[in-house]
Amino acid sequence: ADKKKCILYIVILILLGFLLMWTQIDDLTRMICKICASVLKKYEPHMYVGIRSETYPLFGKISYLSAGTVYPGIKISLINTGISLGVIILLAGLPWKGRPLAIYLILCSAIHLINSLWFVFGEKYFPYTLTVYSNLYMLQEIGIWVMFFVMTVMVTGIIGDRAIIYKLLTLLAVMLYSIVFGTVRYVIFIWLLYRFSVIYMAFFYFMIGPMFDFLYLVMIYAV
């Protein structure tokens, strides 16, 4: 590998990427919100869906969805507590309890158990509304896009100075997949949290949240 060429590749792409982000992030987030809002209004005609914008020092103006918050109530909270506890006990007693999938499901069930107990004993102290979560989700996605962009540029940059087309295709695939996946997950999460209450907020975050994104990053790079 020619180190100068590798460094030049990394520096140029990172500078161009950040320049593009600072100039287009407002349009990108607004477009995502419009798509998600139209889908939500189609499947939930009575649901209030708005689009808000806030300005942040590093990223500039960012748009996100605004929606009404639905709380679970004591009955649903108790049912979810019982199911979560039952899943943990069941999985912990199976022969394959030490395998990755079982461990993953036990951890997710434990998180949902804690969140369900929170609503049993202190629902009015739950600190998130659906709009606040929507804002945090959009900021989280932007953080993922920035991190994945830098990581992919760095990884494809240090492995050599040839096959530039394949490197750029890898970078493009990671970013497009991340944006599409983040948008689909956004609208599904907002719809499910509105339809079935915010008791599932923590569960969704850990079940198929930011940690899940690393799977497709590794998959695309491996391909």
Name the pairing type of β-strands 49-56 and 60-67. Answer: antiparallel
Instruction: Please tell me the distance from the alpha carbon of residue 134 to that of residue 190, in angstroms, as a whole number.
Output: 7
User: Whole-angstrom Cα distance, residue 102 to residue 85?
Assistant: 14
- All residue ranges of the chain with pLDDT < 50 are none
Would you say how long the chain is, in residues?
223
Cβ–Cβ under 8 Å, residues 145 and 178: yes
pLDDT at 199: 95
Phi, psi torsion values for 9, nearest 5 degrees: -60, -50
Structure tokens at 220: 């695309």
Query: Residue 155 — φ and ψ, nearest 5°?
Result: -65, -45
Is the CB of residue 121 less than 8 Å from the CB of residue 85?
Answer: no
For tokens 């497009």, name the residue.
176
d(CA 204, CA 133): 11
pLDDT number for residue 142: 94
Distances (CA, A) of 167 to 15, 53, 163: 17, 35, 6
Residue 206 pLDDT: 86
What does DSSP assign to residue 34?
H
R_g of the chain, CA atoms, integer Å = 21
- So what's the pLDDT on residue 208? 86
